[in-house]
Chain A
């Protein structure tokens, strides 16, 4: 039940999707461990802000603005120029920074075993949560009959 979006690197997209919705405590703990092994990091941005969300009207296919979502953003770089980026909905700068740290680590060195395990477990967790919810939703399916 993974969401898919064009365009971009498929693996990178899947990784970012998981990191943005991973359980905050696990994400932060893992980033703390990775940070100890990383060199100097420059923080380009670590802030809260807004993302405007447009929606497409189904009647005339007109895009309009639904409203803004509060997000937390972290944008970092290492000495080699590799970039790490995190953006999550809500007000949690640490969570966004943890996402950026993991993204930077993967950009610089590829996925280590611990990170791969984290991603696999969080992907499974998110899929299980979605599946349980959608099984409950399916229980409300109704067949209409005309008498």
Chain B
């Protein structure tokens, strides 16, 4: 092993960091608060990929990285390691989520009905350039209904199970402290379902979308239809020292189920969920889950392929490491290339009768 020393590097590194931070300008609490309040979907994305839910810290990470998402996720994940784990909450169940958006593309008459919630799905996407002309955009108020929507909506999959449309499922018997946890054990294949879904929950949105989209376009074996998409808020249910369970607060969550076709007398279903409201991610992730069962090894829908390649910190870290000095290894490539050229030049210059000819086939 050989090394190349770079003189003056320490000063250059210091100035490079200063230049990066100078370009971003001062960061104060007001700036962090503005990011938190005005970019909730971006904050959600960062929290989901960091696997750490705190809007204030996610906004801070965005502020100090200038919105470079892989850096923001990296600093949040790093900060997470400084904190002790105090408890494991009671598992969130779908029909306990305070639901603010719930739609199905497969069934129009679902128990509880369809609620569009906050969405631009059915709107023209037009850039509000008037704002730049000095005309602020003030959103029109919602005409609230007389009665509120139910706080909770039933589980569609459970209703389908009762109708015999979805395969029966056994009641879980895993204690919360025994649930497999990727933050404390390696991802091994074939992955447990708990590992697969946890890995997808913290996966990089763009990566999941790219691979899920590949499956949707035909590079998978199942084309998805959204069975149910749900955005809501889940209670973080913890236990008081006297044993009383209570909610320490709520977190925004997204869930998607996608279905494809009948198999063995039941609808096939794929599932995914994540922190924050990020429906593109969960639809794409559920599509990957749906495709996993019969995926050829090495294909984009095989779990080993998509779980390894959508891990945000590892993927971005491996990518950016190629910027670091590789002079010694690259020098050996150059040496080999120059050696080959020299030999070819020498061979070309030699008299024809001295060349060793290959025998004809």
Residues of chain A touching chain B, judged by Cβ–Cβ distance below 8 Å, are: 1, 3, 5-9, 12-13, 16-17, 20-21, 47-71, 73, 75, 83, 85, 87-91, 103, 130-146
Contact = CB atoms under 8 A, between A and B. Distances in A.
Contact of B100 (A17, A87, A137): A137
Interface string B92-130: 111000101100000011000111111100000000000
A145 B108 CA distance: 8
A129 to B, nearest CB: 11
Nearest to B270: A59
Given A87-B248, A138-B115, A70 B158 contact: no
B346 to A, nearest CB: 63
Main secondary structure of the interface of B (DSSP, over half): mixed
Contacts of A130: 98, 148, 151
A7 B114 contact: no
Interface in B284-327: 289
B94 A66 contact: no
Contacts of B235: 3, 5
B249 interface: yes
- A12, A48, A70, most chain B CB atoms within 10 A: A70
> B interface, how many residues as a size bin?
35 or more
Given A56-B93, A57-B193, A89 B248 contact: yes
B179 A64 contact: yes
B244 A146 contact: no
A64 B69 CA distance: 25
B338 interface: no
Given A54-B89, A136-B145, 20 more contacts: A5-B235, A13-B245, A17-B247, A50-B83, A51-B248, A52-B176, A54-B90, A55-B255, A58-B156, A61-B171, A65-B180, A67-B50, A89-B250, A91-B54, A133-B100, A133-B148, A135-B145, A137-B117, A141-B113, A141-B116
B221 interface: no
A89 B249 contact: yes
A130 B100 CA distance: 11
B287 to A, nearest CB: 13
Interface string B125-166: 000000000000000001111111111000111100000001
A142 B116 contact: yes
B272 to A, nearest CB: 9
Nearest to B251: A69
A20 to B, nearest CB: 5
B89 A67 contact: no
B80 to A, nearest CB: 7
The residue among A63, A85, A145 with the most chain B CB atoms within 10 A of its own CB is A63
